[in-house]
């Protein structure tokens, strides 16, 4: 043992003295202690070792898949709130949702906590990712999420087949008046007189408003009939095949088509998009199909066009105020109505749930999911 010492005359000089040794009576024998290697412990506090994932709305088909996919990376907890106040309270320090970093959300959560508006989003302390189960995400305030650095994903592609086949059914039923024929049969009246207003699919021109994944899938289903197909987007789709004609001017497309199928997302720019002007630009006797969102169409304008005969029929799977349906629509005998059946198949719903969970898995393992909504890709 060496003690450094400074002298008064030369404070910058260190003198090394002889080593000091303890008295013989206090000396200890040298003992060799074996070194035991232990696993390195996490530097994170125990409370942050397992981030939480909140299942908000329930998993119908992929609950076991969720545990297999996420169980090694997070603690999975279920929504356990009867109302919004209880839900938001759960995100306070020490609350039942404290530590949640990602959320799986389906529209089924609306009945308990409402839509994900600014008030709700502002209360999501610690949440970094919302994986929405669905292609349409109009029930989430994306702008409020962005302000809190919460990223939002949806499930593009997973819904294409089921929604497109729903549109195909509405197209066939509206053109051939099959819904009226079934009603007549069930009423014991046999075959109604519909041939004067029914059409073959091969003899019409179809216009697709919004050629995304669903619109393109629908076009592929219709193609074998030999139907002429046009589409309008803000700009040409790079995925559009050469047998679908692009119309840069929406009015030009509307003037040429016999059937308009609507496939645009609902946002502040598309609410009421298909209104009086668009409808009246179409030919007299045209048909409108909607599997997108009810509010994309101006419902009063649609009803007026049915009443005065400008529209021969409509096929609707979506409505502005679901599950309520305008009684006037139900009174028409020349319309085909479905109660939002677009994704009501176990196959598509399982794909949607898995797509949502995979986005959460990617976020937990890489910090980024693959299906950010368009507003967050800019």
The DSSP code for 193 is: -
Give the number of C-alpha atoms closer than 13 A to the C-alpha of residue 282, restricted to the C-beta side: 26
Q: Residue 293 catalytic? A: yes
Single pTM value for the model: 0.82
Mean pLDDT of 90-119: 97
Q: Which of 197, 280, 340, 350 is labelled catalytic?
A: 340
Mean pLDDT of 109-113: 95
Per-residue pLDDT at 329 exceeds 60: yes
- Alpha helix (H) ranges present in 141-275? 142-147, 160-176, 178-186, 213-222, 250-256
Mean pLDDT of 107-125: 96
Q: Residue 340 catalytic? A: yes
Q: Characterize the bridge pairing of strands 52-56 and 75-78.
A: parallel
Q: Which of 322, 331, 344, 375 is labelled catalytic?
A: 322
Each residue's pLDDT tens digit, 333-358 = 999 999 999 999 999 999 999 999 99
Q: Which phi and psi angles does 372 have, rounded to 5°?
A: -55, 140
Q: What is the pLDDT of residue 378?
A: 72
Query: By the 8 A CB rule, do 212 and 263 touch?
Result: yes
Each residue's pLDDT tens digit, 248-267 = 999 999 999 999 999 999 99
Q: Which of 151, 176, 199, 293 is labelled catalytic?
A: 293
Going 254 to 259 to 264 to 269, the CA torsion angle's sign is: positive
Virtual torsion, Cα 256, 259, 263, 265, nearest 10 deg: 80
Task: Report the percentage of the chain scoring pLDDT > 70.
Answer: 87
In the numeric block, which tokens belong to residue 232?
Answer: 């309008």
Each residue's pLDDT tens digit, 161-180 = 999 999 999 999 999 999 99
Mean pLDDT of 270-285: 98
In the numeric block, which tokens belong to residue 62?
Answer: 């992929």
Per-residue pLDDT at 221 exceeds 60: yes
Is residue 332 exposed (0-12), middle (13-18) or buried (19+ Cβ within 10 Å)? middle
Per-residue pLDDT at 26 exceeds 60: no
- Distance CA(9)–CA(235), nearest Å, equals 87
The rounded mean pLDDT for the chain is 89
Q: Which domains does the chain have, with CATH numbers?
A: 48-158+349-376 (3.40.50.720), 160-337 (3.40.50.720)
CA distances 360 to 153, 157, 202, Å, are: 9, 17, 44
Residue 267, C-beta contacts closer than 8 angstroms, at least 6 positions apart: 138
- Distance CA(78)–CA(55), nearest Å, equals 5
């Amino acid at each position: 043992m060496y003690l450094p010492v400074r002298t008064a005359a030369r404070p910058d000089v260190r003198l090394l003295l002889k080593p000091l040794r303890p008295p013989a009576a206090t000396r200890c024998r040298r003992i060799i202690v074996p070194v035991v290697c232990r696993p390195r412990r996490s530097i994170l506090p125990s409370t942050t070792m397992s981030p939480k994932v909140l299942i908000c709305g329930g998993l119908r088909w992929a609950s076991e898949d969720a545990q297999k996919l996420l169980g090694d990376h997070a603690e999975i907890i279920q929504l356990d709130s009867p109302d919004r106040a209880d839900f938001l309270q759960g995100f306070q320090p020490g609350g039942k949702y404290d530590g949640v970093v990602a959320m799986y959300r389906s529209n089924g959560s609306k009945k308990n906590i409402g839509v994900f508006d600014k008030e709700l989003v502002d209360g999501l302390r610690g949440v970094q990712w919302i994986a929405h189960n669905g292609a349409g995400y109009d029930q989430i305030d994306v702008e409020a999420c962005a302000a809190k650095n919460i990223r939002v994903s949806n499930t593009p592609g997973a819904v294409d087949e089921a929604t497109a086949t729903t549109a195909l059914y509405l197209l066939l039923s509206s053109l051939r008046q099959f819904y009226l024929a079934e009603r007549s049969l069930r009423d014991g009246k046999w075959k109604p007189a519909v041939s004067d207003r029914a059409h073959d699919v091969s003899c019409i021109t179809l216009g697709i408003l919004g050629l995304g994944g669903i619109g393109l899938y629908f076009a592929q289903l219709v193609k074998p009939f030999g139907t002429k197909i046009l589409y309008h987007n803000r700009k040409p789709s790079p995925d559009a095949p050469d047998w679908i004609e692009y119309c840069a001017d929406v009015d030009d497309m509307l003037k040429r088509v016999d059937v308009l199928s609507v496939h645009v997302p609902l946002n502040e720019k598309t609410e009421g998009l298909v209104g009086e002007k668009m409808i009246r630009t179409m030919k007299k006797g045209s048909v409108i199909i909607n599997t997108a969102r009810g509010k994309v169409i101006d419902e009063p304008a649609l009803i007026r066009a049915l009443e005065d005969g400008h529209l021969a029929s409509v096929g609707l799977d979506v409505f502005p105020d679901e599950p309520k349906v305008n009684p006037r629509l139900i009174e028409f005998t020349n319309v085909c109505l479905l109660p939002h059946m677009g994704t009501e198949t176990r196959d598509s719903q399982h794909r949607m749930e898995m797509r949502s969970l995979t986005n959460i898995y990617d976020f937990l393992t890489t910090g980024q999911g693959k299906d950010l909504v368009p507003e967050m890709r800019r």
